[in-house]
A and B are shown apart, each in its own frame.
Chain A
Amino acid sequence: MRACKALIRHCRFYPIDSVLSLGVIALIIWVLWASISWIVQAADWSVVSSHLPLFASGSYPLDQRWRPLLWISLLAALTLITLIVPIKRGSNRWMGMVLPWCWVFMIPLGLVLMAGGLGLTPVPSRAWGGISLTLLLTVCSAVLALPFGILLALGRTSDLPVLRHSSRLYIDVMRAVPLIAVLFFGKLLIPLFLPMQLEINQVLRAVVAFALFAAAYVAEDVRGGLQAIPETQREAAAVLGLSPLQSLQLVVLPQALRIAIPALTNQAIGLLQNTSLMALLGLVELLGIAQNLLANPAFIGRHLEVYVWLGALYWLFCTAMALLARKIEHSGPTLNGRSA
């Protein structure tokens, strides 16, 4: 209603602008109409609907498919719960305490469900694929990149020259090279740099390469957060008798990380999007599955359907991540388990 009033007022003041707007409206209606009629009539969605399990878990063994599906559903459920349950200070403290631990628990759970062990049949990483692999790659590399990135940021801002320069060199070189080169390096060269006997699988190599790359970007974001903390905070901590390590751990880092959350969210979203590059290097994550499907002669000319479906999925994941991050940002200091 308010938007309507604003629109009417706008038309009275800017007549030429309004004519232009009408043109844009006509264009939008035409595009919408064409898209909807394509989605409903022209598009053949069977290429997507008949391969839903493939998109979810790749070539995971048929009788074990419930494992990746269970993990994806749990992640989705947890996301919904986190977004819906209001975390206010004081009320719902119980939820505020339990939810972060649930999230932490999802990572080992995902690894066990995918890889097997603890009574589950082992499934080699060759057979992993689809959404479950995309999410696993994202989560594992993010978890590795965050502490490494924080260490790099601390090194970069340290007043010890050796630490500062070596961190800086690492960050600058990593930020100068394209990700695909780092991944390629990981695929080809990590085996060359390791002792002969030590063979690590393809997924782990990808995770390591992603983490090493992302850490350099995380470091710059955390450094931004560190620089935003006034020197008086450290001084106050010192006056209270905290050791430099304690002051860092209890005073500086919690504040710096909170400031860095929006930037770190963007990094996490970028990481999720970048996992699609593994499709070029032989992992069948979401995009890799799609390319394999489209290489099948039975689905010639079905590119648009598959890409629209994939685009919608990625959009959904990224938006969910952005919403989650906003929730964390606004949830207040109860987040780290200590009361406000």
Chain B
Amino acid sequence: MKGTRRWLLQLAVVVLLLTLMGVLINNLAVNLLRTGLGLSFSWLSRPTGFALAEHALPYSPSDSYAWALFVGWINSLKVISAGLVAATILGVLAGSARRSTNPLLRALAALYVSVIRQIPLLLQLFFWYFVALLGLPQSNPSPLGSLFTLTNQGIAVLGVHLSVEFTAVLLALSVFTGASIAEVVRGGLDSVPRGQWEAFRSLGLSERLGLRKVVLPQALPAILPGLSSQYLNLAKNSTLAIAIGYSDLYSVSDTSITQTGRAIEGFLLLLLSFLLLNLLINGVMQLLNRAVIRRGQRS
């Protein structure tokens, strides 16, 4: 009796979902026929005709849409990977500072976290781009000479030139995500029993050494899941780069969709790229997680 009811319920859900999908797809087909678009991916091999301000690989407007999207993907990957590193460093520093013995450092870290987390990322991005970076002087003679220059044309460190757009996205992403990572790290540190702190202090270890050798390794299993979700957030948030004209994956997709009118196909490709990116980050984090757990079991 109960079994039949379960089956009936599931059947009802399936029918409901299929009907919903059928109606949506039917509407889509009608609308596509009406606008004469149809579904096709042949536009991917046509030349784009638009230039990209920044490309790590050779690219010209006569290249195909597919290549432009790939270059955008590489640009995204570039800013995401740099952002991951910077945000992690910032977050671990700020998170540890919140449990430091120095009251000033604690207050400073708390201020950072509470201010940054309550202001939208897009506003912060605009601030970094329009105020902090574009507000710099045209030429800025620095005491380090050609080793490090900071102008409103970009940043040059040891011959490597970073564009203003890239720097702004990187700063915004790492400062914003750093604040969230700080909270994750703080939570992880709090999960380590008080006795462990007292133990390394009574052994005469310095705060920094104790944190690195005793507390952080034990906090890692609690930190990693939160960390990987923050990494995924950072990757997703990198799409805001379009707001200041950094040619990331989303911005290239957006331009392609506007030019070709292929909204559905473009969106599908975007979806696939992000699923791929997510799988990548998730995979790496899972490997890390497993390594941490294995190390924990061995010791």
Contacts and interface: CB of A to CB of B under 8 A. Distances in A.
Interface of A: 3, 6-7, 10, 14, 17, 20-21, 24-25, 28, 160-163, 166, 173, 175-181, 184-185, 188-189, 191-196, 269, 273-274, 276-277, 279-280, 287, 291, 294, 303-304, 307, 310-311, 314-315, 318-319, 322
Given A179-B236, A180-B240, A192-B32, A311 B123 contact: yes
A194 B25 CA distance: 9
- Which 3 pairs from chain A and chain B are nearest by CB? A273-B120, A318-B118, A178-B236
Given A193-B24, A287-B123, 7 more contacts: A24-B105, A24-B108, A177-B274, A178-B238, A191-B31, A287-B122, A307-B130
Contacts of A291: 126
Given A276-B120, A307-B131, A319-B118, A24 B104 contact: yes
Tell me the dominant secondary structure on chain B's binding face.
Answer: helix
B9 A160 contact: yes
A277 B237 CA distance: 11
Interface string B262-276: 011001001100110
Contact of B118 (A10, A179, A269): A269
Contact of A280 (B118, B242, B257): B242
A310 B123 contact: yes
Given A25-B104, A188-B257, A277 B122 contact: yes
A317 to B, nearest CB: 8
A303 B130 contact: yes
B120 A162 contact: no
Nearest to A161: B10
A3 B103 contact: yes
Contact of A180 (B32, B102, B104, B242): B242
13 contacts: A17-B102, A160-B9, A163-B9, A175-B232, A176-B275, A178-B239, A193-B28, A273-B119, A279-B122, A280-B243, A287-B120, A303-B130, A304-B127
B6 interface: yes
Contacts of B32: 192
A10 B101 contact: yes
Nearest to A305: B131
B131 A303 contact: yes
B285 interface: no
B10 A185 contact: no
Contacts of B126: 287, 291, 303, 307
Nearest to B253: A181
A178 B274 contact: yes
Nearest to A312: B119
A21 B236 contact: no
Contacts of B115: 315
A194 B27 contact: yes
Interface string B29-55: 011101000000000000000000000
A176 B278 contact: yes
B267 to A, nearest CB: 6
B127 A307 contact: yes
Interface in B104-131: 104-105, 108, 115, 117-123, 126-127, 130-131
Nearest to B258: A188
Interface in B146-183: none
Contact of B17 (A166, A176, A191): A166
A119 to B, nearest CB: 36
A196 B10 contact: no
Contacts of B240: 180, 277, 280
Nearest to A294: B130
B13 interface: yes
A280 B58 CA distance: 29
A276 B28 contact: no
A274 B120 contact: yes
Contact of B263 (A175, A189, A273): A189
B13 A189 contact: no
A331 B237 CA distance: 35
A181 B10 CA distance: 31
B102 A14 contact: yes
A185 B267 contact: yes
Nearest to B276: A176
Interface in B74-121: 101-105, 108, 115, 117-121
Contact of B13 (A163, A191, A280): A163
A234 to B, nearest CB: 16
Contacts of A185: 267
A21 B100 CA distance: 12
Contacts of B135: 303-304
Most buried by A among B30, B126, B130, B238: B126
Given A180-B239, A189-B267, A196-B34, A311 B27 contact: no
A286 B275 CA distance: 32
Nearest to B6: A160
